[in-house]
Amino acid sequence: MQPQRDQHDSNADGYFIHPWTGPVVDTARILRWISSCEQSHGSECAMPTNLSFSEAFRGLHLFHLIDLETNCPVEKTSLVKYVALSSVWGALSNFRLTKANRTALLKPGSLQTVFSMLPNTIKDAVVLTRRLRYQYLWINALCLLQNDAEDLKLGVNVIDLIYEELG
């Protein structure tokens, strides 16, 4: 495979080869890409600061995010910077946010309690989000009530905005 030049990274190590096969993600490179994007694109890629929560996420009353400082899902009604994981669920039944466990999961430290039950994809996303120095992470399995038809409907209706409005 031929190296491809990352057009937003002027550093010599801005080259990358697909697919990534290294054992560890180069977070320094990702942070440079984020910085370059913020500097080059400015407000084009930034979360809109002129919108209220209800304008940014039409129809949502609140937004579950995983707070990696308090190690639990939190309910936000204001715009904050976050990272989102887009993934396909496997055939196995994995741990997820439900009406039954919601109250327990909203307690600080709950993520540590259930961490071993999470799929590796989610564990990796938590670790990477911390390394990228973001406080909040959105993952559909833990941020939408999976057994609440109304919450799922509202979430699915704004799923494009959840990924688009990343701060």
Query: For the chain, which residues make up each domain, given as ranges?
Result: 4-44, 53-164
Q: Please name the amino acid found at residue 33.
A: W
**pLDDT of res. 2:** 40
Structural tokens at position 42 = 């400015």
pLDDT in tens, the chain (167 residues): 344 444 444 444 444 444 555 667 888 888 888 888 888 876 776 666 677 777 878 878 888 999 999 999 999 988 888 998 887 776 666 888 889 999 999 999 999 999 988 888 889 899 999 999 999 999 988 888 888 888 888 888 888 888 776 55
pTM: 0.78
φ, ψ of residue 5 in degrees (nearest 5): -80, 130
